[in-house]
Structure 1
Amino acid sequence: MARHRNVRNRSYSDDYDYDDVYGHSVEEDSCLSPNDSSQWLFDRTRNSQAIAHFLDSHDDIQEEVEEDTSMSSPSALQRGESIDLRSLDLSEEDEAKLMSCLDELRNVLGDTVSESVLIKSVLHHKFDFNKALDDILNSKSKENTKTEVPKLPLVVIEPAKAPVIATVNTPKVIVQNLEPKTLGIIKGFKVGKDEGPSSRPGTPREQSPCTERSKEQSTEKVKAKENKASALSQYTKERALDKEHLYIVVIGHVDAGKSTLMGRLLCDLGEVSQKTLHKYEQESKKIGKQSFMYAWVLDETGEERVRGITMDVGRAQFETKTKKVVILDAPGHADFIPNMITGAGQADVALLVIDATRGEFESGFDFGGQTREHALLVRSLGVSQLAVAVNKLDTSNWSQERFDEITKKLKAFLKQAGFKDSDVTYVPCSGLNGENLVKPPSEPELLKWYKGLCLLDVIDKFSVPDRPISKPLRMSINDVFKGTGSGFCVAGRIENGMISKGDKVIVCPTKEAADVRGVSINDMSSNVAFAGDQVIVTLSGVDMQNVSVGYILSDPVQQVPVTTRFEARIVVFNVKVPITKGYPILIHYQSLVESAHIVKLKAQLNKTTGELVKKKPRVLGNNSVAVVEIEVSKPICIEKYKDVKELGRVMLRVAGVTIAAGLVTDIMST
């Protein structure tokens, strides 16, 4: 019956306050006797007499009186009294931080400092344990200097059964120059010789947010250095004897012959079997398009072959003397510019194909064709090296005058677009005949005036950009599909860092954790891939429905920023309606297309020097340069251009036309 309660006969006082027992354990209640319950009721008079008797019997205790120098009605925090944390009006998270820091401080200082001083210091330094400790110790040191208290040994209280109060017939003892690593005291209990936090068993204090945060920061720095060194050594080990990887995007106006040119190049290099080529020849004859047989090497879908145009980015690969080259055949039709931007965003260099036929070049360059827009887009996306293939020059009987006429117009425009003359090479060729593609020219009319390289040698002369393999992982996703095994696959380009089988990654902007089950490069399984590689990664641990095109695979520690608002420096192309505040646009960012609007026009800059021309302009016209603030409808992953160039560029499009290109200069927190 000892554990049961006699509820029926329990005596309750009229002024009993039920709130007093809120939060108490049931085990703290006592069983009340039905005969006499008065013994269990609190008697304030009797309690006061007991305390007085206790104090009289200990006449050697000296009470310390502290002077009150505060205002006439100070708060509990100012008076140094015990404080109810609920009166501080803190959130649950801040209250947890406060309690954690107080435990840490008590672990170091014991009971030498009042609770109110500790709380005041922690709140003043925003829960920073180290700063609060330094502040308290410094204030104690100043107080000691003023009062000139002699140095005395530390008085430590042994645990006892009854309450014990330390008695010292000397002035107040102040503990001086205490550091977390020099003294181990746990709330007045003797620990003995200093052992430091590392040698003591793990306690909740050592697992506090303040301590863990400092440990994590130091650990992250060490890991970053180790990862950088391991990435460089692993890259050297994996790719030391391998040819450099180069990704080239093929651009140009629709029907310029891009697919045919690349298809013929692959056939002449032996990348396409004779059986497959014969099959394409017979099938193209049946539908009356025999000249498309080489284009079908890259245009693999039925709709592309029936319509005779490229609709999606075709992929193929070949090797030169020093490089492994991956072709990204971009569509030239205006309706498929978003696909072209996706291909250009994955490329290191570009090949601009021009139709030299009389009238065709003019329609693609002068009359609103895609030649100008494609060249502007690839330059805005960071491509600086360009080869110009003047295709179908055999229709003009390899005329030097026609070649010079085309190159003269292109040189002026490409220089204005930002290409250096030294980074642009012009090659006369014919995709259908295979002239000047893989071998030096053999056509007599061409040999009379052209002494340059063939197209294959021009591609081989391209320099490979530096790969930021030692930076945190950033991989842009441009395709999501179900694989053959467990998990699912994402395809894309590694912009920064490296990825290995077994790695843990974060899918942003949703910030879901995933495991890397497999990595393949150009359909070949691999254990590791580096910045610049086009890869297919098999993921597990995350739902396929939660991963979309345009997402970023990020390093789990140094994650990619996620925001809905950012600042960009843009270059405005040709706009029919001037850009104003609130202007609606479509953001093209890697493979992502998202609706947005311009919320601020911050400044207009000089196009040449970049100097400030006007603050807060009302409108932006053609060919202007400005700093604007853009707000996106959904959170996106984005980087500053100075941090990650590949993820710091955006395209602004309206009604199927590219109106501006920009570099991200700042990211606003959301």
Structure 2
Amino acid sequence: MGPEDSGVQSPAPGKVPTAEESPAAQCVAEECAPTPGRTPGKAKQQLNVKAELEKRQGGKSLLNLVVIGHVDAGKSTLMGHLLYLLGDVNKRTMHKYEQEARKAGKASFAYAWVLDETGEERDRGVTMDVGMTKFETPTKVITLMDAPGHRDFIPNMITGAAQLVVAVNKMDQVGWQQERFQEILSKLGHFLKQAGFKDSDVSYIPTSGLSGENLSARSTVPELTAWYKGPCLLEQIDAFKPPQRSVEKAFRLCVSDVFKDQGSGFCVTGKVEAGYVQIGDRVLAMPPNEVCTIKGIALHEEPIDWAAAGDHVSLTVTGMDIIKINVGCVFCDPKEPIRSCSRFRARILLFNIELPVTQGFPVRLHSRHRGLGVVAHLQGVLLHYQTVSEPATIRKLVSVLHKSSGEVIKKKPKCLSKGQNAIVEIQTQRPVALELYKDFKELGRFMLRYVGSTIAAGVVTEVRTSVLDHAPGSSVGAVKVKFSHATNEFQRSADR
């Protein structure tokens, strides 16, 4: 299907091919792989990433799509049925799923099994892990991720998505009632506005994942066509604005999973947020601030020579102990490393929180990386991805800002309440890898959660870059904190 179906056999499950084993690497080695004796840096200079991306995708734009929603909203059924209608699942395979689902007493789950592949997922009827596949629209190559319907996923996905399609699912169960559709649109629309979405960035599509109505083609059901004249789900996904790939920036990859490879080294999976990487490159992991070597790269389980911004890939790495890498680590260019810190300043927007936020308020920080969204409500589907979850404390309330202009309207407030914009200083229990929002938007956003609820979204504006300096002969030190600001730098000293 498309530019990546070149007849190359897929590697064994869970194994990323090495440079020596990669047949796909031979196809492009003459143009973009490092030749013997050359350093990775010199090879990179000869790789025209934008031209190679254009060639690889057949002129189509790449989109990363995450499908989220509440448990039993029908996410996997909806997207599994769409994949079948697009021909990405053949009739023989679909017939096998139907027989297996019927035998298990879950006939209506057949399309969900296209994405829910494990025995536990099928037994419980819920998505347990993030499943990944790909499909194509007339103008796009889509990397599709089906996320679990856990409450911790949904708020992060909503506030992390750049564009949303709300697939109002199971509309056939209410006879395609326009009143029910408008009720969902009104309630969800109000929430999304609070989260900062413009009406132009959100679309609502009435669908039925089970029957397939309004998924790949516009419905002809009279009860629906009597009041709905808009596009089907596939048309709306194809209409997404293609994001800009930051291939010209320094390499950044956010680790979403770590596992042992069958050979030497180990594997990490994640999204390349910026730049590109080639087999043989040496990259820096932050934290733990150690260098390793890229031995193999795979995209959609196909071996490749290189990967660029926007790609969700598996990397085989050597030269580092697997126990030092965790979900949330960032692989980066050693010459232009990402910041790793435990204290930073940020501009946050508080959501509906009943308690006042004061100095010392405990929170949990979730980093998030922007994607496109399809949201499934109970009679509605949404898209996004997150990797880091870290206990943190709001150490200082710096100022309250005007919502529109961003001007400081109050310095050193005693507390913050819902709906306010503010500058705060946050300290995490362990160092986290992040960037200033102005430099890397993808790595400068985060969420704050409290007692299971998302209470704020924020962007990093200043980063602490110095270390604790103990005064000689004293158990009490002085901490010198230097912040890199979005517009300037300042330094201050404070007793500790």
Q: TM-score, normalised by structure 2?
A: 0.78
Q: 1:525 aligns with which of 298, 303, 306?
A: 303
Identify the residue that residue 51 of structure 1 maps to in structure 2.
Answer: none
Identify the residue that residue 580 of structure 1 maps to in structure 2.
Answer: 358
Call closer, same or farther: CA 1:226–1:602 in 2, change over 3 Å: farther
Deviations 1:217-246 (A, max 9, x none): xxxxxx9x9999756x23213424342211
State how 1:402-441 maps to structure 2 within 5 Å.
402-441=180-219
RMSD across aligned positions (CA)? 2.2
- Once residues 302 and 254 of structure 2 are traced to their aligned partners in structure 1, the CA distance between those partners, rounded to angstroms, is 20
Q: Give, as a single letter, the amino acid of the residue that structure 2 aligns with 1:257.
A: G
Q: 1:649 aligns with which of 427, 433, 445?
A: 445
Identify the residue that residue 428 of structure 2 maps to in structure 1.
Answer: 632
- Once residues 417 and 49 of structure 2 are traced to their aligned partners in structure 1, the CA distance between those partners, rounded to angstroms, is 50
Percent identical among aligned pairs is 50
State how 1:467-546 maps to structure 2 within 5 Å.
467-546=245-324
Report if aligned partners of 2:49, 2:247 keep a CA contact under 8 Å in 1: no
Identify the residue that residue 558 of structure 1 maps to in structure 2.
Answer: 336
Call closer, same or farther: CA 1:666–1:230 in 2, change over 3 Å: farther
Q: Give, as a single letter, the amino acid of the residue that structure 1 aligns with 2:49.
A: Q
State how 1:205-604 maps to structure 2 within 5 Å.
233-240=48-55, 241-334=58-151, 337=152, 340=153, 374=154, 377-378=156-157, 380-381=159-160, 383-589=161-367, 590-604=386-400
Greater strand proportion: 2
Instruction: Give the 3-state SS of the residue equivalent to 2:403 in structure 1.
Output: coil
- Once residues 401 and 44 of structure 2 are traced to their aligned partners in structure 1, the CA distance between those partners, rounded to angstroms, is 38
Q: TM-score, normalised by structure 1?
A: 0.58
Q: Give unmatched runs, 5+ long, in structure 1.
A: 1-222, 341-373
State how 1:12-23 maps to structure 2 within 5 Å.
none
Instruction: Give the 3-state SS of the residue equivalent to 2:162 in structure 1.
Output: coil
Residues 1:623 and 2:419 are matched in the alignment: yes
- Residue 550 of structure 1 deviates from its aligned partner by 0.9
Instruction: Give the 3-state SS of the residue equivalent to 2:70 in structure 1.
Output: coil
Q: Give, as a single letter, the amino acid of the residue that structure 1 aligns with 2:314.
A: I
- Residue 601 of structure 1 deviates from its aligned partner by 0.7
- Once residues 423 and 158 of structure 2 are traced to their aligned partners in structure 1, the CA distance between those partners, rounded to angstroms, is 19
- Residue 569 of structure 1 deviates from its aligned partner by 0.9
Report if aligned partners of 2:49, 2:308 keep a CA contact under 8 Å in 1: no
- Once residues 43 and 158 of structure 2 are traced to their aligned partners in structure 1, the CA distance between those partners, rounded to angstroms, is 32
- Once residues 564 and 535 of structure 1 are traced to their aligned partners in structure 2, the CA distance between those partners, rounded to angstroms, is 28
Question: How many matched pairs?
Answer: 408
Q: Give, as a single letter, the amino acid of the residue that structure 1 aligns with 2:108.
A: S
Q: Give, as a single letter, the amino acid of the residue that structure 2 aligns with 1:523.
A: E
- Once residues 654 and 467 of structure 1 are traced to their aligned partners in structure 2, the CA distance between those partners, rounded to angstroms, is 33
- Residue 399 of structure 1 deviates from its aligned partner by 2.1
Q: Specify the structure having the higher radius of gyration (Cα).
A: 1
- Once residues 611 and 437 of structure 1 are traced to their aligned partners in structure 2, the CA distance between those partners, rounded to angstroms, is 46
Greater helix proportion: 1
Q: Give, as a single letter, the amino acid of the residue that structure 2 aligns with 1:613.
A: I
Instruction: Give the 3-state SS of the residue equivalent to 1:570 in structure 2.
Output: strand
* Structure showing greater relative contact order (alpha-carbon pairs closer than 8 Å, 6 or more residues apart): 2
Instruction: Give the 3-state SS of the residue equivalent to 1:433 in structure 2.
Output: coil
Structure 1 residue ranges (4+ consecutive) displaced by more than 4 angstroms after TM superposition: 225-231
Q: Give, as a single letter, the amino acid of the residue that structure 1 aligns with 2:290.
A: E
- Once residues 661 and 448 of structure 1 are traced to their aligned partners in structure 2, the CA distance between those partners, rounded to angstroms, is 40
Q: Give unmatched runs, 5+ long, in structure 2.
A: 1-38, 368-385, 468-496
- Once residues 270 and 202 of structure 2 are traced to their aligned partners in structure 1, the CA distance between those partners, rounded to angstroms, is 28
Instruction: Give the 3-state SS of the residue equivalent to 1:384 in structure 2.
Output: strand
Instruction: Give the 3-state SS of the residue equivalent to 1:446 in structure 2.
Output: helix
- Residue 403 of structure 1 deviates from its aligned partner by 2.2
Instruction: Give the 3-state SS of the residue equivalent to 2:122 in structure 1.
Output: helix
- Once residues 277 and 342 of structure 2 are traced to their aligned partners in structure 1, the CA distance between those partners, rounded to angstroms, is 27
